[in-house]
Structure 1
Amino acid sequence: MIGPGPAETKTNVQERILLAAEEVFSACGFAGTRISEIAVKAEVNQALIHYYFESKEKLYEAVLVSLFRQWEEYVNKLSWSGMNAPEFLATYIRAQFRLKCQIPNLYRIFHWEAMEEGDLFTKYASSTWYEDFLKHTEMIHDWQQDGALDAGMNRKALLFLLWGMMNQFYFRSEDNLREIVGGDGDLESLQDQVADQMIRLTLHGVVPALYGGGNKDTDPKWRESDFIYSVGSASVKEGSECADMCLWLQDSLRQPLLAWEEERNTNGVREEKLMFVFASTQYGEMPPHIVSWLEDLKNSPNVEEVTVGIWVERGSAGSEALQRLLEDAVNRIGAYAVARTADISPLNYAKRCLKWAGLRG
């Protein structure tokens, strides 16, 4: 009779076979795997594998069921509710990359199937696998409709591109990652550094002249009449409403927002056409830099030609009070404050400001 020896339970033998099969399938793919190789790795008789799993395909199915059980346990703990587009992208990249690092063999097997143009992975994959993909493409589509993400980007391709970045790193050793990123720390720390780079690339791009950097004095494509100033942008928190607006403006206009605080202390603020004021408050108090800016605006020679967009981060008890206070103060000075309605999104508000100022966007 074929079966486990007296000192070993059936469950232990099956687990040993499954672990060995997982390693071999992930290293060689389904087509390149031989049962004899699994038997050697599991240190069992080849006939014992057939006794428990009947065939190579049945064993492959059992391996995928085990891996997807781990995948579902991880994915079911994730929540995307209440996130804006940048928050989602940053969190998604970090969570998905961490998942690939924790269950690398699932993704190795998936990549083998893709290269071999096989269909067994799809046949035995968890139903949640594809549902999760569809859910995220719909979320991206909604943000595209709202103007929070580039509407010209193919949303399915975007997810595949994000995975493609992750696929270059999730399988690498600590020494290999350290050689690439040049950082310190253990394997998990190095993986976090890689995730930081992927998030930075996704949210900000790599060409400074297009994404808020470059040299405004030497680049001929910039016109002084299009300079847009920001007040308080240096202090906005990543993933906040103000950060969303800053990113969208820079990406849409293909030029930076000039920090009023820096320009005031160096070149002096030039004749501005549009200014964006960003602030946050707990009880309605006005930040000191906003007080200084209002004084400067009052003394501006072309104050009546200035359009001002004001965004006070929502969510605190005093945010709406400060929003109205600033709008009133700007209008009293003689500039034009674009009113913010209660239900408008940061991006639609930014578009409204550009329209009022007569600028592209």
Structure 2
Amino acid sequence: MKLSQFEYTLPENLLAEFPSEHRDEAKLMVINRKDGSIEHKMFKDVIDYFGEKDVMVFNNTKVFPARLYGNKEKTGAKIEVFLLRELNPETRLWDVLVDPARKIRIGNKLYFGEDESLVAEVIDNTTNRGRTLRFLYDGSYQDFRAKLTELGQTPLPKYIKRDVVPEDAERYQTIYAKEEGAVAAPTAGLHFSKHLLKRLEIKGVDFAEVTLHIGLGTFSPVEVEDLSKHKMDSEQIMVDEKATSIINNAKSEKRKICAVGTTVMRTLESTVSSNRRLNEFTGWTNKFIFPPYDFKIANCMITNFHMPKSTLLMMVSAFAGHELMEKAYKEAIKENYKFYSYGDAMLII
């Protein structure tokens, strides 16, 4: 398929600037792949589509406050630093994005905090906006990470133009987040409340957790018309023995296995064996899923509504079928569903 086939026009008023008042009361579109039918529900109604021993697979990555604002030495120019990846905890090296990048050169120092208690030196260029920083901090590693948390902001997506508010620290995080390392939330999981998880547990639904630390590569634009030529950035994933056991048993018993989000789907498809079973794995994936694609583990998925021409929309189209996704997105716009990270959800069965 071609990049241009994933274009659509979204009215600006359907961009979700804020989350729904209650996590599980966002809208839910239910899409049936067999008959092409579409239902309109609330997210908490998702429980009606799962039974005992069905499995929901969650991404337990935790978002850290990755956006920092500092000042350049001498000029005092305000610089945004977006933390991407810690390269070495001992030397406190990080890959980052800087904005405006044209002002930042190797050897520059950046100062953070009103008291300038955190300093970073630019030691390398990586991409147009990318730099490698060495943070200069006298305290322990734990104190250093605490300082980053203190000074950092919740890394809301750039399309959200408003200022970050205190509530974002909680709402731009799943309630089951555990493993810190993501610079963006696995947004399908934002809709689950503690109450809904408890109701699913009482009903007998099993839960499995995997980890994919979301980087900005997930959202990097596709710039080639021929999708087979697009290269995804690598992201770290972890699948342990407990998750493989729960998921493989459900597969053997022909239960529903629901990937909660595109990141879960990528993780599962990155760690599957030739006999279509899930393997334990710790490492990196750059897997890019686009139509046509043979999914081997999950047979249903929960996801949000994604940007035009995004790799996320391509994956969902591969799972549901391109024509059905086109129909669903037109219906979502007609029915005023909210789109993107803080938006509404769909369940594809």
**TM-score between both structures, scaled by the size of structure 2:** 0.28
Largest Rg, 1 or 2? 1
